[in-house]
Amino acid sequence: MSALSFSPVALRPPELSSNHRSSAVSLPRRRALSVSFASVSPETSTAPPQIPEIQLEFLGPKPGDPVNRATAISGEKLLRNIMLDNKIELYAAYGKVMNCGGGGSCGTCIVEIIDGKDLLNERTNTELRYLKKNPESWRLACQTIVGNKENFGKVVVQRLPQWKK
């Protein structure tokens, strides 16, 4: 068996000068790679946002009540959860202490959709049962999915429509 020995070799970059030709190194020419980066200003873009969002506006039952606002990623949450997460009052007095926790069995999480109903899911069978004598614009917040993962826009919600004056 023979022993191999390696000695360090100093590597130098090829000479770039045109009047000095190196005979030791000849590298193939590489084609220039062209890469362009397009920038899109959010003010001028009409394309949908990359993560579609729904803006929500919540009106109180009495004139002069403050308007609450929230934003949700499209198709990710129920209206009830958005309201509770943002500390927006959903339940009337009875519902505050006796709601079913979003199970669709108490009918106390009623809201009215003033604008943007097309951005929500269709009424569920639970809603059809609980709200059959109420206007079509009324929904149960625990059954209402905000967005469908692709749509975006604004939804206006009337809180406590049964108390509306």
Binding site for ligand FES (CB under 6 A): 99-100, 102-109, 140, 142
Alpha-carbon Rg for the chain, nearest whole angstrom, is 32
Minimum CB distance to ligand FES, residue 161 (Å): 14
By C-beta, is 53 or 127 nearer to ligand FES? 127
Rounded Cα distance between 142 and 70, Å, is 17
By C-beta, is 53 or 131 nearer to ligand FES? 131
String of b and e for 126-156 (b: at least 16 CB within 10 Å)? ebeebbeeeeeebbbbbbbbbbeeebbeebb
Q: What are phi and psi of 145, to 5 degrees?
A: -90, 130
By C-beta, is 108 or 158 nearer to ligand FES? 108
Rounded Cα distance between 16 and 125, Å, is 77
Minimum CB distance to ligand FES, residue 128 (Å): 13
Minimum CB distance to ligand FES, residue 86 (Å): 16
Minimum CB distance to ligand FES, residue 157 (Å): 14
By C-beta, is 53 or 158 nearer to ligand FES? 158
